[in-house]
Protein backbone atom coordinates (compact mmCIF):
# COMPACT_ATOMS: atom_id res chain seq x y z
CA UNK A 1 0.00 0.00 0.00
CA UNK A 2 1.28 3.48 -0.83
CA UNK A 3 1.69 6.05 1.88
CA UNK A 4 -1.41 8.10 2.53
CA UNK A 5 -0.96 11.29 4.53
CA UNK A 6 -3.82 12.67 6.61
CA UNK A 7 -4.12 16.42 6.70
CA UNK A 8 -6.64 19.08 7.58
CA UNK A 9 -7.63 21.67 5.00
CA UNK A 10 -10.20 24.43 4.88
CA UNK A 11 -13.23 23.68 2.66
CA UNK A 12 -13.10 25.77 -0.53
CA UNK A 13 -16.80 26.53 -0.18
CA UNK A 14 -17.91 26.66 3.44
CA UNK A 15 -14.48 27.25 5.04
CA UNK A 16 -15.01 24.51 7.61
CA UNK A 17 -12.00 22.31 8.43
CA UNK A 18 -11.99 19.07 6.42
CA UNK A 19 -9.93 15.96 7.21
CA UNK A 20 -8.43 14.92 3.88
CA UNK A 21 -6.00 12.26 2.72
CA UNK A 22 -3.23 12.85 0.20
CA UNK A 23 -1.42 10.23 -1.77
CA UNK A 24 1.57 10.96 -4.02
CA UNK A 25 2.61 7.50 -5.18
CA UNK A 26 0.20 5.37 -7.20
CA UNK A 27 1.47 1.85 -7.80
CA UNK A 28 -1.10 0.13 -10.03
CA UNK A 29 -0.04 -3.37 -8.97
CA UNK A 30 -0.10 -2.76 -5.22
CA UNK A 31 -2.98 -0.33 -5.08
CA UNK A 32 -5.40 -0.82 -8.00
CA UNK A 33 -8.07 1.24 -6.16
CA UNK A 34 -5.83 4.32 -6.27
CA UNK A 35 -5.39 3.88 -10.03
CA UNK A 36 -9.18 3.65 -10.50
CA UNK A 37 -9.67 6.75 -8.34
CA UNK A 38 -7.07 8.61 -10.37
CA UNK A 39 -8.67 7.69 -13.71
CA UNK A 40 -12.06 8.75 -12.36
CA UNK A 41 -10.69 12.09 -11.16
CA UNK A 42 -11.30 11.14 -7.52
CA UNK A 43 -7.69 10.82 -6.34
CA UNK A 44 -6.91 13.30 -3.55
CA UNK A 45 -10.46 14.65 -3.76
CA UNK A 46 -12.34 14.78 -0.45
CA UNK A 47 -16.00 15.79 -0.34
CA UNK A 48 -16.65 18.24 2.52
CA UNK A 49 -18.73 16.46 5.21
CA UNK A 50 -20.38 19.78 5.96
CA UNK A 51 -21.44 21.16 2.54
CA UNK A 52 -20.49 18.38 0.10
CA UNK A 53 -18.14 20.52 -2.00
CA UNK A 54 -15.32 18.42 -3.55
CA UNK A 55 -11.96 19.58 -2.17
CA UNK A 56 -9.04 18.73 -4.42
CA UNK A 57 -5.53 18.70 -3.01
CA UNK A 58 -2.87 19.32 -5.64
CA UNK A 59 0.32 17.39 -5.04
CA UNK A 60 3.19 15.94 -7.08
CA UNK A 61 2.25 12.46 -8.36
CA UNK A 62 4.31 9.46 -9.39
CA UNK A 63 2.43 6.73 -11.25
CA UNK A 64 3.95 3.27 -11.60
CA UNK A 65 2.76 0.14 -13.39
CA UNK A 66 5.51 -2.48 -13.32
CA UNK A 67 3.63 -4.89 -15.62
CA UNK A 68 3.85 -2.28 -18.39
CA UNK A 69 7.23 -0.79 -17.41
CA UNK A 70 5.47 2.52 -17.04
CA UNK A 71 6.62 5.30 -14.73
CA UNK A 72 5.16 8.80 -15.10
CA UNK A 73 5.72 11.88 -12.98
CA UNK A 74 3.37 14.82 -12.77
CA UNK A 75 3.86 18.08 -10.88
CA UNK A 76 0.84 20.40 -11.08
CA UNK A 77 1.90 23.74 -12.52
CA UNK A 78 -0.45 25.50 -10.08
CA UNK A 79 1.91 24.54 -7.24
CA UNK A 80 4.53 26.92 -8.72
CA UNK A 81 7.36 24.70 -7.46
CA UNK A 82 10.94 25.53 -8.42
CA UNK A 83 12.89 22.95 -10.40
CA UNK A 84 14.84 22.00 -7.28
CA UNK A 85 11.70 21.56 -5.23
CA UNK A 86 10.14 19.44 -7.99
CA UNK A 87 13.18 17.18 -8.13
CA UNK A 88 13.25 16.84 -4.36
CA UNK A 89 9.55 15.88 -4.25
CA UNK A 90 10.00 13.31 -7.04
CA UNK A 91 13.11 11.97 -5.34
CA UNK A 92 11.06 11.28 -2.21
CA UNK A 93 8.32 9.54 -4.18
CA UNK A 94 10.94 7.47 -6.03
CA UNK A 95 12.43 6.39 -2.71
CA UNK A 96 8.99 5.41 -1.47
CA UNK A 97 8.49 3.37 -4.67
CA UNK A 98 11.85 1.61 -4.63
CA UNK A 99 11.78 0.70 -0.92
CA UNK A 100 8.49 -1.15 -1.56
CA UNK A 101 9.80 -2.99 -4.61
CA UNK A 102 10.67 -6.66 -4.32
CA UNK A 103 14.38 -7.51 -4.54
CA UNK A 104 15.73 -7.24 -8.09
CA UNK A 105 12.64 -5.50 -9.47
CA UNK A 106 14.44 -2.25 -10.17
CA UNK A 107 14.76 -1.79 -13.90
CA UNK A 108 16.31 0.75 -16.27
CA UNK A 109 13.01 2.46 -17.17
CA UNK A 110 12.77 3.68 -13.57
CA UNK A 111 15.80 5.90 -13.99
CA UNK A 112 13.97 8.20 -16.38
CA UNK A 113 10.29 8.67 -15.60
CA UNK A 114 8.10 10.03 -18.36
CA UNK A 115 6.63 13.42 -17.59
CA UNK A 116 3.03 14.50 -17.85
CA UNK A 117 2.34 18.23 -18.06
CA UNK A 118 -1.32 18.03 -17.09
CA UNK A 119 -3.52 15.62 -15.11
CA UNK A 120 -5.40 14.93 -18.34
CA UNK A 121 -2.07 14.02 -20.00
CA UNK A 122 -1.23 11.63 -17.16
CA UNK A 123 -4.63 9.94 -17.38
CA UNK A 124 -4.32 9.59 -21.17
CA UNK A 125 -0.88 7.99 -20.97
CA UNK A 126 -2.15 5.49 -18.40
CA UNK A 127 -5.26 4.71 -20.45
CA UNK A 128 -3.19 4.23 -23.61
CA UNK A 129 -0.98 1.74 -21.81
CA UNK A 130 -4.21 -0.12 -20.97
CA UNK A 131 -5.03 -0.38 -24.68
CA UNK A 132 -7.46 2.51 -24.78
CA UNK A 133 -6.73 4.20 -28.12
CA UNK A 134 -6.95 7.96 -28.79
CA UNK A 135 -10.01 7.18 -30.99
CA UNK A 136 -11.72 5.44 -28.08
CA UNK A 137 -10.94 8.39 -25.82
CA UNK A 138 -12.29 10.80 -28.42
CA UNK A 139 -15.49 8.72 -28.66
CA UNK A 140 -15.79 8.76 -24.88
CA UNK A 141 -15.27 12.54 -24.74
CA UNK A 142 -18.04 12.91 -27.33
CA UNK A 143 -20.30 10.75 -25.18
CA UNK A 144 -19.55 12.88 -22.13
CA UNK A 145 -20.31 16.03 -24.14
CA UNK A 146 -23.59 14.53 -25.36
CA UNK A 147 -24.57 13.54 -21.81
CA UNK A 148 -23.75 17.08 -20.66
CA UNK A 149 -25.93 18.51 -23.43
CA UNK A 150 -28.83 16.42 -22.13
CA UNK A 151 -28.20 17.41 -18.52
CA UNK A 152 -28.21 21.10 -19.40
CA UNK A 153 -31.31 20.96 -21.61
CA UNK A 154 -34.72 21.99 -20.35
CA UNK A 155 -37.35 19.25 -19.98
CA UNK A 156 -39.37 20.40 -23.03
CA UNK A 157 -36.26 20.28 -25.27
CA UNK A 158 -35.58 16.69 -24.32
CA UNK A 159 -37.84 14.89 -26.87
CA UNK A 160 -36.31 16.75 -29.84
CA UNK A 161 -32.80 16.29 -28.50
CA UNK A 162 -33.37 12.54 -28.21
CA UNK A 163 -34.74 12.40 -31.77
CA UNK A 164 -31.67 14.23 -33.14
CA UNK A 165 -29.21 11.97 -31.30
CA UNK A 166 -31.15 8.71 -31.32
CA UNK A 167 -28.38 6.81 -33.17
CA UNK A 168 -25.82 7.86 -30.54
CA UNK A 169 -27.90 6.71 -27.59
CA UNK A 170 -26.60 3.21 -26.90
CA UNK A 171 -25.23 1.09 -24.07
CA UNK A 172 -22.04 3.20 -23.97
CA UNK A 173 -24.09 6.37 -23.64
CA UNK A 174 -26.02 5.05 -20.63
CA UNK A 175 -22.82 3.70 -19.06
CA UNK A 176 -21.25 7.14 -19.33
CA UNK A 177 -24.32 8.71 -17.78
CA UNK A 178 -24.24 6.21 -14.91
CA UNK A 179 -20.53 6.93 -14.34
CA UNK A 180 -21.27 10.65 -14.10
CA UNK A 181 -24.07 9.92 -11.64
CA UNK A 182 -21.76 7.75 -9.51
CA UNK A 183 -19.12 10.46 -9.51
CA UNK A 184 -21.62 13.09 -8.36
CA UNK A 185 -22.90 10.72 -5.69
CA UNK A 186 -19.33 10.18 -4.45
CA UNK A 187 -19.03 13.95 -4.17
CA UNK A 188 -22.21 14.06 -2.10
CA UNK A 189 -24.21 16.07 -4.63
CA UNK A 190 -27.58 14.42 -4.04
CA UNK A 191 -29.65 17.10 -5.78
CA UNK A 192 -27.75 16.82 -9.06
CA UNK A 193 -27.88 13.02 -8.83
CA UNK A 194 -31.67 12.98 -8.56
CA UNK A 195 -32.07 15.41 -11.42
CA UNK A 196 -29.85 13.41 -13.77
CA UNK A 197 -31.50 10.12 -12.88
CA UNK A 198 -34.81 11.68 -13.85
CA UNK A 199 -33.37 12.81 -17.20
CA UNK A 200 -31.90 9.34 -17.73
CA UNK A 201 -35.30 7.76 -17.14
CA UNK A 202 -36.90 10.04 -19.69
CA UNK A 203 -34.20 9.28 -22.28
CA UNK A 204 -34.86 5.58 -21.73
CA UNK A 205 -38.55 6.15 -22.46
CA UNK A 206 -37.94 8.32 -25.54
CA UNK A 207 -35.01 6.66 -27.35
CA UNK A 208 -35.07 3.61 -29.64
CA UNK A 209 -32.38 1.85 -27.63
CA UNK A 210 -34.13 2.68 -24.36
CA UNK A 211 -37.45 1.35 -25.62
CA UNK A 212 -35.75 -1.92 -26.53
CA UNK A 213 -34.31 -2.08 -23.01
CA UNK A 214 -37.74 -1.53 -21.50
CA UNK A 215 -39.21 -4.26 -23.72
CA UNK A 216 -36.46 -6.66 -22.61
CA UNK A 217 -37.20 -5.85 -18.97
CA UNK A 218 -40.91 -6.35 -19.53
CA UNK A 219 -40.28 -9.78 -21.10
CA UNK A 220 -38.04 -10.68 -18.18
CA UNK A 221 -40.72 -9.69 -15.71
CA UNK A 222 -43.23 -11.81 -17.61
CA UNK A 223 -40.90 -14.79 -17.40
CA UNK A 224 -40.41 -14.30 -13.65
CA UNK A 225 -44.18 -14.07 -13.17
CA UNK A 226 -44.76 -17.24 -15.24
CA UNK A 227 -42.11 -19.17 -13.29
CA UNK A 228 -43.52 -17.87 -9.98
CA UNK A 229 -46.94 -19.16 -10.92
CA UNK A 230 -45.47 -22.57 -11.87
CA UNK A 231 -43.76 -22.66 -8.46
CA UNK A 232 -46.97 -21.71 -6.67
CA UNK A 233 -48.89 -24.38 -8.58
CA UNK A 234 -46.65 -26.96 -6.88
CA UNK A 235 -48.21 -25.94 -3.56
CA UNK A 236 -46.80 -25.79 -0.08
CA UNK A 237 -45.99 -29.49 0.15
CA UNK A 238 -43.70 -29.42 -2.90
CA UNK A 239 -40.70 -31.77 -2.68
CA UNK A 240 -37.21 -31.55 -4.11
CA UNK A 241 -38.35 -33.99 -6.78
CA UNK A 242 -41.13 -31.60 -7.87
CA UNK A 243 -38.64 -28.76 -8.20
CA UNK A 244 -36.26 -30.99 -10.15
CA UNK A 245 -39.04 -31.89 -12.58
CA UNK A 246 -39.84 -28.21 -13.03
CA UNK A 247 -36.17 -27.41 -13.70
CA UNK A 248 -35.94 -30.22 -16.25
CA UNK A 249 -39.05 -28.88 -17.92
CA UNK A 250 -37.15 -25.59 -18.35
CA UNK A 251 -34.10 -27.32 -19.86
CA UNK A 252 -32.36 -25.13 -22.48
CA UNK A 253 -34.41 -22.12 -21.36
CA UNK A 254 -31.73 -20.08 -19.60
CA UNK A 255 -34.03 -17.27 -18.57
CA UNK A 256 -36.62 -19.52 -16.92
CA UNK A 257 -33.92 -21.47 -15.08
CA UNK A 258 -32.38 -18.23 -13.87
CA UNK A 259 -35.77 -16.97 -12.68
CA UNK A 260 -36.40 -20.26 -10.90
CA UNK A 261 -33.12 -20.15 -8.94
CA UNK A 262 -33.67 -16.46 -8.20
CA UNK A 263 -37.13 -17.15 -6.78
CA UNK A 264 -36.38 -20.19 -4.64
CA UNK A 265 -32.62 -20.32 -4.09
CA UNK A 266 -32.93 -22.25 -0.76
CA UNK A 267 -34.48 -25.24 -2.56
CA UNK A 268 -31.23 -25.88 -4.44
CA UNK A 269 -29.20 -27.19 -1.52
CA UNK A 270 -26.63 -29.94 -1.22
CA UNK A 271 -29.26 -32.70 -0.92
CA UNK A 272 -31.05 -31.41 -4.02
CA UNK A 273 -27.91 -31.77 -6.14
CA UNK A 274 -27.08 -35.16 -4.62
CA UNK A 275 -30.57 -36.48 -5.39
CA UNK A 276 -30.26 -35.04 -8.86
CA UNK A 277 -27.00 -36.95 -9.47
CA UNK A 278 -28.61 -40.20 -8.29
CA UNK A 279 -31.55 -39.53 -10.58
CA UNK A 280 -29.23 -38.92 -13.56
CA UNK A 281 -27.33 -42.14 -12.90
CA UNK A 282 -30.59 -44.11 -13.01
CA UNK A 283 -32.07 -42.28 -16.00
CA UNK A 284 -32.13 -43.81 -19.50
CA UNK A 285 -28.80 -43.22 -21.28
CA UNK A 286 -30.24 -40.93 -23.95
CA UNK A 287 -31.59 -38.47 -21.35
CA UNK A 288 -28.44 -38.18 -19.26
CA UNK A 289 -26.71 -35.46 -21.30
CA UNK A 290 -29.71 -33.17 -21.11
CA UNK A 291 -30.17 -33.79 -17.37
CA UNK A 292 -26.48 -33.22 -16.67
CA UNK A 293 -26.70 -29.90 -18.53
CA UNK A 294 -29.62 -28.77 -16.37
CA UNK A 295 -27.79 -29.77 -13.20
CA UNK A 296 -24.64 -27.91 -14.26
CA UNK A 297 -26.62 -24.82 -15.12
CA UNK A 298 -28.41 -24.86 -11.76
CA UNK A 299 -25.04 -25.15 -10.00
CA UNK A 300 -23.70 -22.15 -11.89
CA UNK A 301 -26.79 -20.08 -11.21
CA UNK A 302 -26.78 -20.80 -7.47
CA UNK A 303 -23.08 -19.88 -7.27
CA UNK A 304 -23.82 -16.63 -9.08
CA UNK A 305 -26.67 -15.72 -6.75
CA UNK A 306 -24.66 -16.62 -3.65
CA UNK A 307 -21.88 -14.32 -4.79
CA UNK A 308 -24.32 -11.46 -5.32
CA UNK A 309 -25.94 -11.94 -1.93
CA UNK A 310 -22.50 -12.16 -0.34
CA UNK A 311 -21.78 -8.63 -1.58
CA UNK A 312 -25.18 -7.41 -0.36
CA UNK A 313 -24.54 -9.05 3.03
CA UNK A 314 -21.18 -7.35 3.40
CA UNK A 315 -22.71 -3.98 2.60
CA UNK A 316 -25.50 -4.55 5.11
CA UNK A 317 -23.03 -5.63 7.81
CA UNK A 318 -20.95 -2.53 7.13
CA UNK A 319 -23.96 -0.26 7.51
CA UNK A 320 -24.93 -2.01 10.75
CA UNK A 321 -21.46 -1.34 12.20
CA UNK A 322 -21.78 2.34 11.28
CA UNK A 323 -25.20 2.48 12.94
CA UNK A 324 -23.96 0.83 16.12
CA UNK A 325 -21.18 3.35 16.55
CA UNK A 326 -23.31 6.38 15.68
CA UNK A 327 -24.28 8.83 18.43
CA UNK A 328 -27.52 9.57 16.55
CA UNK A 329 -28.76 6.34 14.94
CA UNK A 330 -32.26 7.72 14.26
CA UNK A 331 -30.91 10.43 11.98
CA UNK A 332 -28.70 7.93 10.17
CA UNK A 333 -31.62 5.55 9.74
CA UNK A 334 -33.81 8.32 8.37
CA UNK A 335 -31.11 9.34 5.88
CA UNK A 336 -30.52 5.79 4.70
CA UNK A 337 -34.01 4.31 4.55
CA UNK A 338 -33.45 3.03 0.97
CA UNK A 339 -30.48 1.00 2.21
CA UNK A 340 -32.64 -0.70 4.81
CA UNK A 341 -33.90 -3.63 2.81
CA UNK A 342 -34.70 -7.27 3.42
CA UNK A 343 -31.00 -8.20 3.49
CA UNK A 344 -30.22 -5.58 6.10
CA UNK A 345 -33.10 -6.73 8.33
CA UNK A 346 -31.85 -10.32 8.05
CA UNK A 347 -28.33 -9.27 9.04
CA UNK A 348 -29.70 -7.28 11.96
CA UNK A 349 -31.88 -10.12 13.31
CA UNK A 350 -29.02 -12.59 12.86
CA UNK A 351 -26.84 -10.28 14.96
CA UNK A 352 -29.52 -10.02 17.67
CA UNK A 353 -29.75 -13.82 17.83
CA UNK A 354 -25.99 -14.25 17.86
CA UNK A 355 -25.60 -11.77 20.74
CA UNK A 356 -28.32 -13.61 22.70
CA UNK A 357 -26.65 -16.97 22.04
CA UNK A 358 -23.33 -15.59 23.32
CA UNK A 359 -25.12 -14.27 26.38
CA UNK A 360 -23.82 -10.78 25.63
CA UNK A 361 -26.62 -8.81 27.29
CA UNK A 362 -25.14 -5.43 26.50
CA UNK A 363 -24.77 -6.09 22.78
CA UNK A 364 -28.11 -7.81 22.45
CA UNK A 365 -29.92 -4.93 24.22
CA UNK A 366 -28.22 -2.43 21.94
CA UNK A 367 -29.05 -4.44 18.82
CA UNK A 368 -32.67 -4.95 19.88
CA UNK A 369 -33.01 -1.24 20.54
CA UNK A 370 -31.64 -0.59 17.05
CA UNK A 371 -34.04 -3.15 15.59
CA UNK A 372 -37.01 -1.36 17.17
CA UNK A 373 -35.81 2.01 15.92
CA UNK A 374 -35.42 0.67 12.38
CA UNK A 375 -38.82 -1.00 12.40
CA UNK A 376 -40.61 2.11 13.64
CA UNK A 377 -38.77 4.28 11.07
CA UNK A 378 -39.84 1.88 8.34
CA UNK A 379 -43.43 1.81 9.53
CA UNK A 380 -43.61 5.58 9.87
CA UNK A 381 -42.42 5.88 6.29
CA UNK A 382 -44.54 3.15 4.83
CA UNK A 383 -47.50 4.26 2.71
CA UNK A 384 -50.76 2.99 4.30
CA UNK A 385 -51.39 0.60 1.37
CA UNK A 386 -48.05 -1.12 1.97
CA UNK A 387 -48.74 -1.37 5.69
CA UNK A 388 -52.06 -3.05 4.90
CA UNK A 389 -50.42 -5.49 2.45
CA UNK A 390 -47.88 -6.39 5.15
CA UNK A 391 -50.70 -7.09 7.57
CA UNK A 392 -52.38 -9.27 4.95
CA UNK A 393 -49.18 -11.23 4.35
CA UNK A 394 -48.76 -11.91 8.06
CA UNK A 395 -52.41 -12.82 8.66
CA UNK A 396 -52.78 -16.30 10.25
CA UNK A 397 -54.69 -17.80 7.30
CA UNK A 398 -56.03 -17.09 3.80
CA UNK A 399 -59.55 -16.88 5.23
CA UNK A 400 -58.56 -14.18 7.71
CA UNK A 401 -56.80 -12.30 4.92
CA UNK A 402 -59.93 -12.54 2.76
CA UNK A 403 -62.07 -11.08 5.56
CA UNK A 404 -59.60 -8.25 6.10
CA UNK A 405 -59.74 -7.41 2.39
CA UNK A 406 -63.55 -7.45 2.41
CA UNK A 407 -63.62 -5.09 5.40
CA UNK A 408 -60.83 -2.65 4.62
CA UNK A 409 -59.70 -2.75 0.95
CA UNK A 410 -62.19 -0.03 -0.03
CA UNK A 411 -60.28 2.41 2.25
CA UNK A 412 -57.39 2.25 -0.21
CA UNK A 413 -59.03 1.74 -3.59
CA UNK A 414 -57.11 0.87 -6.79
CA UNK A 415 -53.75 2.23 -5.45
CA UNK A 416 -53.72 -0.95 -3.37
CA UNK A 417 -53.27 -2.93 -6.61
CA UNK A 418 -50.36 -0.69 -7.70
CA UNK A 419 -48.66 -1.16 -4.34
CA UNK A 420 -48.91 -4.92 -4.81
CA UNK A 421 -46.69 -4.62 -7.89
CA UNK A 422 -43.91 -3.10 -5.77
CA UNK A 423 -44.30 -5.79 -3.10
CA UNK A 424 -44.12 -8.52 -5.75
CA UNK A 425 -40.71 -7.30 -6.95
CA UNK A 426 -39.42 -7.49 -3.38
CA UNK A 427 -40.88 -10.94 -2.73
CA UNK A 428 -39.44 -12.30 -5.97
CA UNK A 429 -35.93 -12.04 -4.54
CA UNK A 430 -36.70 -13.71 -1.22
CA UNK A 431 -37.18 -17.34 -2.23
CA UNK A 432 -40.11 -17.96 0.11
CA UNK A 433 -42.76 -20.06 -1.67
CA UNK A 434 -45.25 -19.89 1.23
CA UNK A 435 -45.13 -16.10 1.28
CA UNK A 436 -45.47 -15.97 -2.52
CA UNK A 437 -48.49 -18.23 -2.36
CA UNK A 438 -50.17 -15.98 0.22
CA UNK A 439 -49.26 -12.97 -1.91
CA UNK A 440 -50.87 -14.45 -5.02
CA UNK A 441 -54.00 -15.30 -3.06
CA UNK A 442 -54.20 -11.75 -1.72
CA UNK A 443 -53.62 -10.26 -5.14
CA UNK A 444 -56.31 -12.42 -6.70
CA UNK A 445 -58.79 -11.14 -4.09
CA UNK A 446 -57.79 -7.51 -4.55
CA UNK A 447 -57.88 -7.82 -8.36
CA UNK A 448 -61.45 -9.10 -8.15
CA UNK A 449 -62.38 -5.91 -6.31
CA UNK A 450 -60.53 -3.31 -8.36
CA UNK A 451 -58.97 -5.01 -11.41
**Nearest approach, Cβ of residue 12 and Zn ion (Å):** 7
The closest alpha carbon to 69, from 102, 41, 31, 28, belongs to: 28
Binding string, 53-72, against Zn ion, x = CB under 5 A?
x-------------------
In the bound complex, what is the minimum distance in angstroms from residue 47's beta carbon to Zn ion? 9
If the CB atoms of residues 49 and 384 are measured against Zn ion, the closer one turns out to be 49
Q: Does 323 bind Zn ion (CB under 5 A)?
A: no
Pick 135 or 335: Cβ nearer Zn ion: 335
Q: Which helix (H) or strand (E) holds 352?
A: helix 342-358
Residues 6+ apart with CB under 8 A from 7: 19, 20, 21, 22, 57
* For Zn ion, the closer CB: 11 or 355: 11
The answer to whether the beta carbons of residues 128 and 134 sit under 8 Å apart is yes
Query: Residue 266 Cβ, how far from Zn ion at the closest point, in Å?
Result: 47
Q: Measured from the CB atom, is 56 or 100 closer to Zn ion?
A: 56
Q: Shortest gap between Cβ of 16 and Zn ion (angstroms)?
A: 5
Task: Please give the Cα distance from 430 to 309 (Å, whole number).
Answer: 11
Q: What DSSP state is assigned to residue 267? A: G
Binding segment for Zn ion (CB under 5 A), chosen from 50-58, 298-306, 353-361, 434-442, is 50-58
Nearest CA to 153 out of 195, 206, 204 is that of: 195
Binding mask 4-43 for Zn ion (x = CB under 5 A): -------x-xx-----------------------------
Helix orientation angle between 208-233 and 254-263, rounded to the nearest 10 degrees:
60
Give the number of C-alpha atoms closer than 13 A to the C-alpha of residue 137, restricted to the C-beta side. 15
Gyration radius of the chain's alpha carbons: 28
User: Among 51, 57, 110, 332, which residue sits at the site for Zn ion (rule: CB under 5 A)?
Assistant: 51
Among 30, 50, 178, 346, binds Zn ion (CB under 5 A): 50
Give per-residue burial for 9-43: e unless 16+ CB within 10 Å, then b: bebeeeeeebebebbbbbbbebbeebbebbeeebb
H/E stretch holding 299 reads: helix 285-324
Instruction: Choose between 19 and 211: whose C-beta lies nearer to Zn ion.
Output: 19
- Residue from the set 38, 48, 169, 370 that interacts with Zn ion by CB under 5 A: 48
Q: At what angle do helices 134-152 and 190-206 cross, to 10 degrees?
A: 100
Q: Report whether 14 contacts 53 (CB < 8 A).
A: yes
Rounded to a whole number of angstroms, the minimum distance from the CB of residue 54 to Zn ion is 10
Nearer to Zn ion by Cβ, of 44 and 364: the residue is: 44
Neighbour tally for 152: CB within 10 Å: 9
Closest CA to 116 of 107, 127, 106: 127
Long-range interactions of 181-184: CB distance < 8 A, separation 24+: 183/40, 183/41, 183/42
Whole-angstrom Cα distance, residue 81 to residue 183?
Answer: 30
187 or 437: CB nearest Zn ion? 187
Among 47-55, 191-199, 379-387, 417-425, the segment contacting Zn ion (CB under 5 A): 47-55
Closer to Zn ion by Cβ: residue 187 or 385: 187
Task: Specify the residue, 17 or 383, whose C-beta has the smaller distance to Zn ion.
Answer: 17
- State the minimum distance, in angstroms, from the CB of residue 128 to Zn ion: 36
| Minimum gap (Å) between residue 314 Cβ and Zn ion | 30
CA distance 386 to 392: 10
Find the shortest distance in angstroms from Cβ 149 to Zn ion.
Answer: 29
Q: At closest approach, how far in Å is the CB of 427 from Zn ion?
A: 42
| Rama region for 32: left / alpha / beta (φ>0; ψ in -120 to 50; rest) | alpha
CB-CB contact of 210 with 169 (8 Å): yes
Nearer to Zn ion, 18 or 199 (CB): 18
CB of 51 to Zn ion, least distance (A): 3
Quote the least distance from Cβ 48 to Zn ion, whole Å: 3
Q: How many residues bind Zn ion (CB under 5 A)?
A: 7
Comparing CB distances to Zn ion, the nearer of 20 and 389 is 20
3-state class (DSSP) for residue 207: coil
Interacting residues toward Zn ion by CB under 5 A? 11, 13-14, 48, 50-51, 53
Amino acid sequence: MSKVIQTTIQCIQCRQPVRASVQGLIDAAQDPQAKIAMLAGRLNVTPCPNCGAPNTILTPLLFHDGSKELLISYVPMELGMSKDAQEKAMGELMRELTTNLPQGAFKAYMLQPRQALTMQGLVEQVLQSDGVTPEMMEAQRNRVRLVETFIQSSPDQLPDLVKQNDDKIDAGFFQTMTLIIQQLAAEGREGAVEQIIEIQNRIVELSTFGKELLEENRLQEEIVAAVASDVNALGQGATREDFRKLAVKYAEDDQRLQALVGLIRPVFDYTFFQDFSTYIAQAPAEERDKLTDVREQLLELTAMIDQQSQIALQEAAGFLRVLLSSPDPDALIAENLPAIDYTFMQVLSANVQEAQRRGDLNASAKLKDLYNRVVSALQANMPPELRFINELLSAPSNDVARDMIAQRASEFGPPLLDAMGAVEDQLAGQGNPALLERFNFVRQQVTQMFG
